[in-house]
Amino acid sequence: MTINPALREDVRRRAQFACEFCGIHEIDAGGELTIDHYQPKSKGGDDSLDNLIYCCFRCNQYKLDYWPEHADHPSLWNPRREPALQHFLEIDEGTLHPLTTIGAFTIERLRLNRLSLVAHRIRKHQQIQQAHLLADYRDYTRFIETLVSQQAMAISEQQKLSDFLRKLLLLFLGGKNND
């Protein structure tokens, strides 16, 4: 397949450098991913931007040149036209649960619950949780710093008040001795 470099770069950017089917990023894959035709050229597809999907080698391999031959054959999810949440639900163990027949077929065809993807999703969730915990830790640290600063100011004010009261008491006691 020959896609001109500018079009290839447009597809990569639109996909935010991640597989549009499974979500694996170029960084995690160790390099650029592949360009696939959602509707294969052999089945009437073209090289238009709307028909090109940025995907990892595995999703491309599992998809092959699938295209429904008849109206009763299942369709594959088109990430260019529908959000994943319309067809899949990610559950806590990192697996995808189908919400539609298209979702079920896509999960099966592309093997979207393969062990490496499940591990990747779990790791991604852990990183998100760690980032939230770190943000919470920073917020608590700032809060404690504010409290410590306020406490220092209160101690300083208390010291000034104590000094004032001591001077007042000395004045009062000194005044009594003169009577």
Q: For 99-117, how does the pLDDT look when each residue is reduced to its tens digit (9 = 90+)?
A: 999 999 999 999 999 999 9
Percent of the chain residues topping a pLDDT of 70: 97
pLDDT for the residue 174: 82
For residue 47, what are its two tokens? 């090289």
Helix boundaries (H) for 2-94: 5-14, 26-29, 57-63
pLDDT per position as a tens digit, 14-68: 999 999 999 999 999 999 999 999 999 999 999 999 999 999 999 999 999 999 9
* Closest to 45 measured CA to CA, from 67, 61, 64: 67
Amino acid at 100: T
pLDDT for the residue 1: 59
Would you place residue 143 in the very low, low, confident or very high pLDDT band (cuts 50, 70, 90)? very high
Would you place residue 179 in the very low, low, confident or very high pLDDT band (cuts 50, 70, 90)? very low
pLDDT for the residue 159: 95
- In this prediction the pTM is 0.75
Backbone angles phi, psi at 75, to 5 degrees: -95, 155
Kindly tell me if the per-residue pLDDT of 87 is higher than 90: yes
H/E run at residue 55: strand 52-55
- Locate the domains of the chain by residue range: 5-113
Cβ pair 91, 97 in contact under 8 A:
yes
